[in-house]
Amino acid sequence: MNYRTASFTGREEVSFANETREVIDSVSFYLYPNIGLEDENKPRLVINRVVMSGREVPFSFQSRGFVLRVALPNKIGPGERSRVAIDFSAAIPAVQQDETSLLAHFLDEINDAIGEERADNPSREIFFAADDAILLGYFFPMLATREVRDSDRMPASGVKSAICSEVAGYEVRVIVEDGITVIGSGRAVRRNGLSESEGGSGNQQVVEFHGNRLRGFALIFGKQLKSVERVVEGTQVTSYFRAGSERLGLRMLELATRAMDTFGRTFGPYGSPTLHLVELPLPASFSGIDLPGIVVLSHAYFVDFDSPQPHLPGIVRAQADVIKAALEFTLAHEIAHQWWGGIVGSDPRRDPFLDESLAQFSAIYLYEMAEGPEIAEKVIEQQVRGTYFTYRMFGGLDTEVERPLRDFRSRLQYAAITQAKGAFFLIAMRRQLGDERFFSALRSYCDEHRYSISSAEKLRVALLNAAEDPRALRVTMRRWLNDKHGDEDIGNPGITLFPQANTGMRKLGRIFVWIGRAAARPF
C-alpha cells in the first residue's frame, strides 16, 4: 500500500471448492471497484496476472471490467477443490473535502429525492482516498459464488446494496508506511516493523489479520485516528474517531456495546472476535456503511451539539435533534447488518428488502429495549414513517416491498420501501405473532441460516412455522410484501409537493443550493 500516492499492488491466493453439481471450466470474480464504470473510464482495479498450478492462465472481462472470468486449465468436478493466484493493482479515486460535508450530504439527499441525475462516480462509497483516510471495501477480486448475471447498471441505491458473497476465511498481510493506523475486517495478529530480511526498507510496518467466516474483507488506513475500546461477550468493540470527536466517539462505543449485547441475546451470538466503528469522511450519499466486521460512520454527522459550537449556523443548530438521531440510528442499523447480511447472508439483487427490513426493525427494537417503548415510537415516527412520508411527498408511489434491486429508481425509494415499509412489515408480523413466537422465529431463522445465504422464502417459512394461524399470517404477509397498502397502513403525508417527476424540481434544487451557500458555509 502506498498511502501517499493512494495506490496499491496485491496478490491474492484463493482456495475454493466447486459446490455446484456440474463440472466447471471457468470461475468468475467480481471487481467491485470497477462496478458502474463507463467505457471511457479506466478500470480502478487492474488485473495483471492469473496463475494456476504454477502457470499463467488466460482471463477476460465482462460488464465493463466488473467481472473477471478465468478459464481453468483443468476442469473441476463437483466437490473438487482448486487454487488460483491473482496479481492486481489499483489507483484509489480521491474524495474532496467539500464532497463529505453535512451540506453535501444534505444536497445529495435533495437531489436524490427530486430525481436529479447523480454525479457519476460509482463505487466510491466503498473505495476512496480522502485527505486523512483511505477506505478499501471489497477492494480485491472476489470469487463470484452465484452465476454471473449482467451487472452493467449501477444500482440506484449504490454499490453497497449489490454486494453478495459467501463466507470465507481470510489471512491478510498489509505493508504500509509507518505512522498510519491500519484497521481490518479480522483480528490483527501481527503489527510491527518490516525487517530487512522481509524486503523492508525501513519506515514500513506490516500488519497481519485473520478472519473467519467473513463475507469479504475491508481495510481502512487513517492518519491521527484515536480510539476507545470495550469487550462485550468476548468481542472487542473499538470505536475509532478523529481528533475533536472524543465525546461522540465514546458515545458510539456505548451505543455499540448496547447493540451488540441486545442483538446477541435476541438473535444469537455475533461470533467474531472484533467489531470496529470508524468515523470517516464519507462522500455524500450515505450516513453509514456496513462492511464485514466494520461499521463506517460519516464524519459529517459527528456534530457534538452537547458542547459549545459557536460556528454552527442556525439552520444546522435547528436540526440538532435530527442530525443527532440520524447518527445514532445509523449506527444501530449498520450494527444490525452484522447479523442481517453478515451472519445471515442474502442476495440483495434478488431480495433487497430481506436484510434491510430486518436491520431497520432491529434498530427500532434496540431503542425499545434501551430507552423504552415511548422513545421507540418517536424513532419510528422520525426515522421510519418520516422516510416513507418524505418519499410520498416528493411524488414517489407506494410499491410492494418484495421486488428486485433493479426495480428501484432512487435511494429514497429504496429506503422508503425496503427499510421503512419493510420495518413496518416486521412490526405487523410481531403484532400478529406476539413477542414470544415472533422473536423465537427470528432466532431460529438466524440459527438455521447462519453463514449461508437466505431468501425471502426462508424468512416466510420461519415466520409461518411460528404462527398459530399460518393462513391469517400469510394474508398479512402478502398485504405488506406483495401489495400496495402503504398509505392505509403506514399513513399518508396528506400533501404531495411534486406530483410529477422533473417539473418544478430543478428550481427547488437551486433554491436549496442557494440557501445552503448562504447559510451553511462553515461546512
- The contact set with Zn ion (CB under 5 A) reads 356, 359
| Nearest C-alpha neighbor of 341 from the set 446, 490, 222 | 446
CB 209 within 8 A of CB 227: no
Q: Report the run of H or E that residue 377 belongs to, with start and end.
A: helix 373-379
Residues 6+ apart with CB under 8 A from 463: 429, 433, 438, 441, 445, 473, 477
User: Exposed, middle or buried: residue 373 (CB in 10 Å: 0-12, 13-18, 19+)?
Assistant: exposed
CB 315 within 8 A of CB 516: no
**Which one, 175 or 325, has the nearer CB to Zn ion?**
325
Residues 6+ apart with CB under 8 A from 125: 158, 159, 160, 282, 283, 285, 286, 289
> How near is the Cβ of 62 to Zn ion at its closest, in Å?
28
Residue whose entry in the numeric block shows the C-alpha cell 462485550:
232
**Which one, 59 or 414, has the nearer CB to Zn ion?**
414
> How near is the Cβ of 288 to Zn ion at its closest, in Å?
8
Amino acid at 10: G
C-beta neighbour count of 41 within 10 angstroms: 14
Task: Please report which residue ranges of 229-351 form alpha helices under DSSP H.
Answer: 246-267, 314-317, 320-339
> How near is the Cβ of 170 to Zn ion at its closest, in Å?
23
**Which one, 112 or 356, has the nearer CB to Zn ion?**
356
**Which one, 162 or 359, has the nearer CB to Zn ion?**
359
CA of 292: how far to CAs of 17, 68, 104, 240, 510, in Å? Answer: 22, 22, 27, 16, 38
> How near is the Cβ of 282 to Zn ion at its closest, in Å?
14
**Which one, 272 or 362, has the nearer CB to Zn ion?**
362
Q: Report the run of H or E that residue 458 belongs to, with start and end.
A: helix 456-466
**Which one, 109 or 356, has the nearer CB to Zn ion?**
356
> How near is the Cβ of 39 to Zn ion at its closest, in Å?
31
**Which one, 148 or 359, has the nearer CB to Zn ion?**
359
> What string of DSSP letters covers 180-212?
-EEEESSEEEEEEEPPGGGT--SSEEEEEEEEE
**Which one, 45 or 415, has the nearer CB to Zn ion?**
415
Q: What is the dihedral of CA 302, 306, 312, 313, to 10 degrees?
A: 110
> How near is the Cβ of 422 to Zn ion at its closest, in Å?
10
> How near is the Cβ of 333 to Zn ion at its closest, in Å?
6
> How near is the Cβ of 137 to Zn ion at its closest, in Å?
14
**Which one, 248 or 359, has the nearer CB to Zn ion?**
359
> How near is the Cβ of 338 to Zn ion at its closest, in Å?
11
Q: Report which DSSP code applies to 98.
A: G
> How near is the Cβ of 356 to Zn ion at its closest, in Å?
5
Q: What span, in angstroms and rounded, lies between the C-alpha atoms of 356 and 401?
A: 11
| Nearest C-alpha neighbor of 397 from the set 384, 410, 406 | 410
> How near is the Cβ of 490 to Zn ion at its closest, in Å?
19
**Which one, 221 or 263, has the nearer CB to Zn ion?**
263
**Which one, 148 or 335, has the nearer CB to Zn ion?**
335
| Nearest C-alpha neighbor of 339 from the set 317, 318, 366, 320 | 366
